[in-house]
Structure 1
Amino acid sequence: MRRRQFLASLPAAAIAAPLFADVPAPLPGFQPEGSETFIRPDVHAGDRPVGASFATRSAVYGINGAAGSAQPLATMAAIDTLKKGGSAVDAAIAMNACLGFLEPTSSGIGGDCFAMIWDPKLKKVVGLAGSGGSPHALTLEIARSRAKNGALPPLGAIAVSVPGALDGWWMMHQRYGTLKWAELFEPAIHYAEQGVPVPEIIAHYIRGNLKAFLRPGAGVEETDNAIKTYGMGHGGPQTGQIFRNPDLARTYRMIAQGGRDVFYGGAIAKTIEAYFKRLGGWMTAADLAAHRGEWIEPHRTEYRGVTVHALGANTQGIATLQMLNMLEHFDMRGAGFQSPLSIHLQVEAKRLAYEDRARYYADPHFAKVPVEWLVSKDYAAQRAKLIDPRKITMPVHPGQAPSHGDTTYFSCADSSGMMVSMIQSNFRGMGSGLVADGLGFMFQDRGQLFSLKDGHPNIYAPGKRPFQTIIPGFATRGQAPWLAFGVMGGDMQPQGQTQIIVNREDYGLDVQAASDSPRWHHEGSSQSMGEDSAGLPPSGLLRLESGVPDATRTQLASMGHVIGASDGGFGRYECVEYKPDAGQLVYAAASEMRADGCSLAY
């Protein structure tokens, strides 16, 4: 072949590289087989004919019910439950049971759950805290003896607390369920027995979690059960491979027949106790039997005519309220969407709120948490004065209290007007790495978020509930519900919830575009709660998604923010919006483009 003919047969990029050495390497022209990412910074999403230019899709609308989750099959199970006559609570439980199988990287009955529910009969938001405490046999002295760098390790039995999710489901069903308890587990049992193809993002995270559990020095007492349950003969599933979990299906059948007591006082509890005894752990059947969730009154604040609700208890929920209370003192609309000033003000409010989060948030059964002061408008006014619109404030500290004083998210709604905002998690990824013999689910590692410092309200104690990052979101207008929403993902959650409310109220974005907007995530606080990475700069690290304008990025750096790379830690959102038309019920549902899931309505 002549040289001219040979060159003509090659792609242009292949010709340019050797002939013009001073020209930057060409951008990839295709995604190589087996590659998990394909990055072309010069290529953006296609053009939509209406709505926000950056939106990925339209919201879905319905008049009978709606649901959204991070896995399409779980969302379908919720819709099917509603069509059978189930309540929004029934649908939420069925969806959560499915997610325990379909999305084990974020959820399962080895973890905790929290919910806010719009009760159409009471015409108010009610809250549920389904969070378990630490084992009674695990003392502070033992916990300190296992500490690494002054904190509890993230994996293994030392980080396991009592799972509260299943008891939370039971409490919700007892109050609001319309279908039989056993019916709620039928879709999950079917999926777990028959198997389903694993979607891209979930497959990626299962492989990453298993790799972390097997790392030398990881601290997981045994990994054979986790590998047997999730490994699929090797390091985890590939995208599209069919995954089954017959052990979990058997466990669900036991729960469907025996209710919550078979888990907290029956055969499952005995299996759990025997497993931890074999490992040298601390969880016992008595710890499980002592667990009880609780109905709690949500806290709330007003933000530009909208009432935003948040759970207190041992969660970080009120951080959202603190941030919004501070931002109310600034002209966010005038600052401009995705502008340097807008993001700067939000980040500074976060930095101030998270100082309080690290200093005061804890289990109120063990510590006096000054919640009313923290969410008050007067305190927010004081804190807002510390925010300089021109530059980052250094240093920041928690306020002085008066002396008296990541996860999967899903939402759904039914034809009665009931709306459920619910979040459930094993904490870090899949959890502790521990799967009890034959049960098919992993235990959470939430105990890592205990403090080991004397005098700290969140200091470890037997039977105490650790600080929780998982928080559902809810907003109302007047006397009616508006948004059942959440943004899952560790310390990102209050930051993400705040961004959603600001995008909706200050920038007028619809329920889907508010999520698709590029996000920011600030890491770091002078007092870590255990989830921050080591070695962060004193001001913390501000991560921006690639969609944030370059000019905004440059200006934020000049204001003193240390800009970090986009790492995928920007949370995952689901939302059902109540928007009646001429007196008739209408729901709009949106889902997260950063996850595998979807929202549906009918």
Structure 2
Amino acid sequence: MKILSAAAAAALLALTAAPAMAQQSTPVEEQIGAGGRPVGANWSRSPVYAENGMAATAHPLATQIALKVLREGGNAVDAAIAANAALGLMEPTGNGIGGDLFAIIYDPKTNQLYGLNASGRSPAGQTLEQLLEKLDGATALPAVGPLPVTIPGTVDGWFEMHERFGKMPMADVLAPTVEYAREGHPVAPVIGMYLDRSLRAYERRLETTSFEFDNARATYFANGAPKAGDIFKNPDLADTLETIGRDGREAFYQGDLARVMVDYLQRQGSAFTLEDFANHESEWVDPACASYRDGFELCELPPNSQGFAALQMVNILKNVDLRQWERGSPEVIHYITEAKRLAYADVARFYADPAFSALPEELLTEEYGKERFALIDPENATPEFGPGEPKLEGEGDTTYLTVTDNDGMMVSLIQSNYRGMGGGLVPDGLGFMFQDRGELFSLDPEHPNAYEPGKRPFHTIIPAFVKKDGGPFMTLGLMGGGMQPQGHVQILINMVDYGMNIQEAGDAARINHDGGRQPTEALTGPAADPLGTLNVEPGLAAETVEALRAMGHDVRVVSNGIMFGGYQAIMRDPETGVYAGGTEMRKDGQASGY
């Protein structure tokens, strides 16, 4: 071994230390920009192409599990369930079997779209008056503890899809996740950041709110928040999934698992009973579609989800040709923002569990879209939009995934625990957290979304599907609370109006308008934030940002990507059958095929 002189060693130390010191003073992303590409936008990367099957999820290992199931003879539904189970383990900040699920499935045998609403309900034996008594004067449901918990719908959703379309035994579908839960997997970087963020949020709430967090701490944070590269294990979840795979949905909703959950919830002060779990069921629903232009149609699920908000935006925006301006122009951003605000004024007024409140059918007509479009001032942001008067005919964290197979089946699936990782409650020894979706109920008894016994709350999570010339074309989803409908529309605009490929459409800078009247607010009285905030990513030019401010928008430039959602999509060439996949640069995910 050669020994350096003291002088040489000092010089070498200076050379090696200099870059580190420079990085400490200036973040590396500000020291150097993106490289070039031989084709496509410099800020994007290539879509993934494959012929036999494809998966796009928020974690590379979940994508690999989906492809493994496809290669072993499963179809797209089997693979989607397998990937979703894996994400509940690997991305617990976004989803898990304590939450709800929605899906759109294209079945090539019948050439039809099937929608599944697998969302849970409130306790059947608890009235609004009883809930208000427990809230002790609070004006909204809390984000943690037993009161915002609704029945977890995901497991029932898995079995509904599997019984109708699946091929492999459920035990085999869940087996890869059972193995990873026992043996461990390395934590991904963005998920590690969200785990740290979640732990800090729970600890802040514990300073002012009393709720059981010991189980969650032992399950997820025994040594603090896991960091990128740390091996994370969840043997309790492995046992739970193994039981579900062996004994079926009854184990979760009627058997030993149900008894553990109900006993735990009741100890926390919840009104849930075994009958509530035993009576839970998912619902098959009909997706609705709105035509945009050039033969493209966007398809979404009905309430209690917010999917129809995206269709309302499409029906508003089809009245102006955005292609007359550049994609990053203030005019395009202004119209998208005002269309979102108009649609969400209706969301806040009308969207709720349809079993309790009928949705005005006129909301999705082109005529109504024209009426709402006429309210947009092309030069200025309108200070406040109210809901329309259609005629009656009768921080949320989420994961989205999509899988397609060699028969042409296409699955668009979204799943969530809602805010953060959920409400902080982990039932004894089961390895998952309950969702806090009930936080989205209104406490105004006159509101369609008011809390009632056995009711599903307003839901933010929405899968999407795109048709071209009447045939199946693309699955897509863009997770992230109120970002989702406006994100779906931005992807559509990027591809249809501006010719972006499936990867560029997701990588391009987004906007996220936040605020306006909310589905949790009272029907009467002023909105808490009528104008709202227009959050934009740094990819928008400074001149555009200033022009939007001059138009009256409250614009905020946000650079960390957190509030702009997580995108996955798969497109099928109608002539060759070749799949193209895109995934989200703001997450850890991967699109891959074979």
Contact 1:522 1:540 (C-alpha < 8 Å) held by counterparts: yes
Q: 1-side partners of 2:362 and 2:368: how far apart? A: 7
Q: Distance in 2 between matches of 1:379 and 1:497?
A: 20
**What SS does the aligned partner of 1:159 have?**
coil
The 1-side partners of 2:527 and 2:128 are apart by 27
Selected match of 1:470 from 438, 461, 466: 461
Alignment of 1:94-109 (within 5 A): 94-109=82-97
State the alpha-carbon separation in 1 of the partners of residues 236 and 392 from structure 2. Answer: 52
Q: 1:282 aligns with which of 271, 276, 279?
A: 271
1:89 is matched with which residue: 54, 59, 77? Answer: 77
Counterpart in the other structure of 1:24: none
- Asked if 1:431 corresponds to 2:419, the answer is no
Q: 1:362 aligns with which of 337, 352, 363?
A: 352
Partner of 1:126: 114
The 8 Å contact of residues 272 and 283 in structure 1, kept in 2 or not, is answered as no
Q: 1:174 aligns with which of 163, 184, 189?
A: 163
Among candidates 41, 44, 49, match of residue 52 of structure 1: 41
- The alpha-carbon deviation at position 368 of structure 1 amounts to 1.3
Residue of structure 1 in register with 2:513 after alignment: 522
1:331 paired to 2:321: yes
Residue number in structure 1 paired with 2:22? 29
2: distance between equivalents of 1:493 and 1:285?
34
Cα distance in 2 for residues equivalent to 1:528 and 1:187: 39
Distance change >3 Å, CA 253–CA 392, structure 1 → 2: same
Q: Is the 8 A contact 1:115 1:128 kept in 2?
A: yes
Q: Deviation per CA, 1:537-564, whole angstroms, max 9, x where unpaired?
A: 5411011111111111111111111112
Q: Which aligned pairs between 1:539-558 and structure 2 lie closer than 5 A? A: 539-558=531-550
Question: What CA deviation, in whole Å up to 9, does each residue of 1:117-164 have, x standing for no partner?
Answer: 111011121100001100123321132231775211111100000000
Equivalent residue letter for 1:314 = N
- Contact 2:441 / 2:519 at 8 angstroms: preserved in 1? no
Q: Does 1:308 align with 2:308?
A: no
Contact persistence 2:335–2:378 (CA under 8 A): yes
RMSD: 2.2
Alpha-carbon distance change, 31 to 185 in structure 1, aligned in 2, over 3 angstroms: farther
* Residue pairs, 1:144-183, within 5 angstroms: 144-145=132-133, 146=135, 150-183=139-172
Q: How many Å apart are 1:49 and its aligned residue?
A: 1.3
In the other structure, the counterpart of 1:22 is none
The corresponding residue for 2:6 is none
Deviation of 1:180 (Å): 1.0
CA distance in 1, matches of 2:121, 2:529: 33
8 Å CA contact retained: 2:313, 2:343:
yes
* Aligned partners of 2:449 and 2:519 also within 8 Å: no
User: For structure 2, which runs of at least 5 residues remain unmatched after alignment?
Assistant: 1-9
User: What does residue 473 of structure 2 align with?
Assistant: 482
Q: CA deviation digits over 1:337-364, x for unaligned, max 9? A: 1111001100000000000000000000
In the alignment, is the contact (CA less than 8 A) between 1:420 and 1:484 conserved in 2? yes
- Deviation string 1:94-122 (CA, Å, 9 cap, x unpaired) is 00010110000011000000000111011
Q: Counterpart of 2:290 in 1: which secondary structure?
A: strand
Matched, 1:459 2:438: no
Contact 2:516–2:528, Cα closer than 8 Å, also in 1: no
Counterpart pick for 2:573 among 556, 579, 583: 579
Which residue does 2:384 correspond to in 1?
395
Q: Does 2:365 match 1:376?
A: yes
Question: CA distance change for structure 1 residues 327 and 126 in 2, over 3 Å: closer, same or farther?
Answer: same
Give yes or no for contact 1:412–1:419 (8 Å, CA) kept in 2: yes
Deviation of 1:403 after TM superposition, in Å, equals 4.7
Which residue, out of 570, 574, 588, partners 2:580?
A: 588
Q: Structure 1, residues 402-460: CA drift from partner, whole Å, max 9, x if none?
A: 25453100001000000000000000121010000000000000000000112100000
SS in 1 for 2:173: helix
Contact (CA 8 Å) 2:495, 2:501: kept in 1 or not? yes
The CA distance in 1 between the partners of 2:136 and 2:593, in whole Å, is 48
Aligned with residue 225 of structure 1, among 215, 219, 229: 215
TM-score of the pair, normalised by structure 1: 0.91
| 2:73 partner letter | G
| Percentage of pairs with the same residue | 46
Q: What residue in structure 2 maps to residue 294 of structure 1?
A: 283
Which whole-Å CA distance do the structure 1 matches of 2:504 and 2:136 have between them? Answer: 43
CA contact (8 A) 2:105 2:410 kept: yes
Does the 8 A contact of 2:458 with 2:519 survive in 1? no
Aligned to 1:143: 131
Correspondence for 1:3:
none
Q: Which moved more, 1:45-54 or 1:585-594?
A: 45-54
Name the amino acid aligned to 1:390: E
Letter in 2 for 1:399: G
Moved more, 142-151 or 439-448: 142-151
Deviations 1:360-388 (A, max 9, x none): 00000011111x21111000000000111
Which residue identity does 2:23 align to in structure 1? Answer: F
AA aligned opposite 1:308 = L
2:101–2:154 Cα contact (<8 Å) kept: yes
Equivalent residue for 1:21? none
Residue 31 of structure 1: how far off its partner (Å): 5.2
CA contact under 8 A between 1:147 and 1:153: conserved in structure 2?
no
Q: Distance in 2 between matches of 1:573 and 1:441?
A: 24
Query: How far apart, in 2, do the equivalents of 1:283 and 1:217 lie?
Result: 27
Provide the residue aligned with 2:195 in structure 1: 206
The secondary structure found in structure 1 opposite 2:198 is helix
C-alpha change, 1:218 and 1:357, in structure 2 (3 Å) is farther
Following the alignment from structure 2 to structure 1, what is the Cα–Cα distance between the partners of residues 186 and 210?
28
Q: How far apart are the structure 2 equivalents of 1:219 and 1:136? A: 26
Shift of 1:64: 0.4
- CA distance in structure 1 between the aligned counterparts of 2:465 and 2:137, rounded to whole angstroms: 37
- Any residues of structure 2 matched to 1:58-69 within 5 Å, and which? 58-69=46-57
- CA shift at 1:283, angstroms? 2.1
Give, in angstroms, the shift of residue 279 of structure 1.
1.6
How far does the alpha carbon of each residue in 1:306-334 deviate from its partner, in whole angstroms, 9 at most, with x for none?
11111003000000000011110111111
Q: CA deviation at 1:297?
A: 0.5
1:54 is displaced (CA, Å) by 2.1
Q: TM-score, normalised by structure 2?
A: 0.93
Partners of 2:435 and 2:49 in 1: CA distance? 35
Question: What residue in structure 2 maps to residue 502 of structure 1?
Answer: 493
How far off is 1:39 after superposition?
A: 6.4
- Whether 2:238 is the aligned partner of 1:246: answer no
Contact 1:135/1:287 (<8 A) preserved: yes
Go from structure 1 to structure 2 and tell me whether the alpha carbon gap of 1:111 and 1:585 turns closer, same or farther (over 3 Å shift): same
Q: 2:543 aligns to what SS in structure 1? A: helix
The 2-side partners of 1:105 and 1:556 are apart by 34
The count of aligned residue pairs is 572
Tell me what 2:563 maps to: 569
Select 1:257's aligned residue among 238, 246, 268: 246
Quick one: distance in 2 between partners of 1:389 and 1:149?
41
Residue segments in structure 1 that go unaligned for 5+ positions in a row: 1-5, 15-26
Contact 1:129 1:313 in 2 (8 A): no
Q: Structure 1: how far apart are the matches of 2:226 and 2:375?
A: 49
Match of 2:338 among 338, 348, 360: 348
Alignment of 1:317 with 2:322, yes or no, is no
- 2: CA distance, partners of 1:270 / 1:86: 32
Q: CA deviation at 1:52?
A: 1.8
Corresponding residue for residue 4 of structure 2: none
